[in-house]
Amino acid sequence: MLRLLNIFKNKQVGLALGSGGSKGIAHIAVIEYLEALGIQVRMISGASIGAVIGAVYAAGSLPQLKKDLQRMQRREMMSYFDIVFPKSGLLEGKKVVEFLKKYISEKATFDDLRIPLGVVATDLYNGQPVVLKSGRVLDAVRASISIPGVFVPVSYNETLLVDGGVANPLPIDVVRGMGAGITIAVNLHPTVQTKIIRKKITALDSVEIKPQLLEIAKSGDTIDGSFVYDRTQGRKWLQSVERWLGVGDRTKQEKTFPNIFEIISQTIDIMGYMNTMMMLKYNAPTVLIEPNLVDLPTLDFLQVQHALDEGERACERMKHELIKKVKKRS
């Protein structure tokens, strides 16, 4: 009788990828590890960076994204942060979408993906998670990565959508609702960073932009209406933005006041940690993988190898569980 029940038991493997900014690069290593073990993922849910990696994987472009991230230089990374003043967020997000178009077709819908995908965003007005499973994939991903205060929110059905990690940072329930009988979850919030460190405050850290340094482009000056500034002042402004983002040499940092991105990032991480603990309490996955990357700044996408290595180490720590509870049952 028990054997008969096992025959009909749902053995489809679902993968839930959590939010966490640049920490989510570890998701790539996790997916590669599962493939190497012979574990076939049948469906994916993701919030924020988890939605990005899940969507790129479902589109079949993950190897190329990994390769491009590994060779990305600081200047290229900074070019994707399109700062706007004043707006509902500090970054427009259009350049990030342009970057993602290299891996996900602009016209691709969820029906075009190789496996089912559930993208989680958050309704800004009622705080409820919104699960997107139809329409254009890039639109859904853009909504899911809208970190409050950092990226401009996305308009959707008479409401505004922000980062999926706000309401559901580890969407185990979503992938289970999609039909997964066996669930693997990658939690990027195993704990909260207990201290925020950064370089000493300098004049540039205040990001005081003088009118003579930047001016709004007049019609015809640029295609996209971006800021116009001379090269010398442009370099200084770029350094200011880098400090905002917490990107750069972290070997000589001293304790002092955190910058705006660090405050937002730490707040989101605390909220993500608390919400994740609630999710794990009521929706425990079959196997939980937890890379330890709490020290990695949310928007620092230059420490790629560090994140990949930790993602692999996290899988190694759970290898026995993956084989016993997933591979042998699926």
Interval 110-132: pLDDT, tens? 999 999 999 999 999 999 999 99
128 exposure class (CB count in 10 Å sphere: 0-12, 13-18, 19+) = exposed
Identify the weakest region by mean pLDDT among 54-63, 161-170, 220-229, 280-289. 220-229
Q: What is the mean pLDDT of residues 305-309?
A: 97
d(CA 52, CA 121): 12
d(CA 67, CA 28): 11
Strand partners, 165: none
Percent of the chain whose predicted confidence (pLDDT) is above 70: 74
Q: What is the mean pLDDT of residues 245-257?
A: 52
Eight-state DSSP code of residue 278: H
Three-state DSSP class for residue 191: coil
Which residues does the annotation mark as catalytic? 48, 163
Nearest Cα neighbor of 45 from 109, 104, 112, 119 is: 119
Q: What is the mean pLDDT of residues 22-26?
A: 96
This model's pTM is above 0.75: yes
Eight-state DSSP code of residue 148: T
d(CA 307, CA 22): 8
- Compute CA 161 distance to the chain's CA centroid, rounded to the nearest angstrom: 15
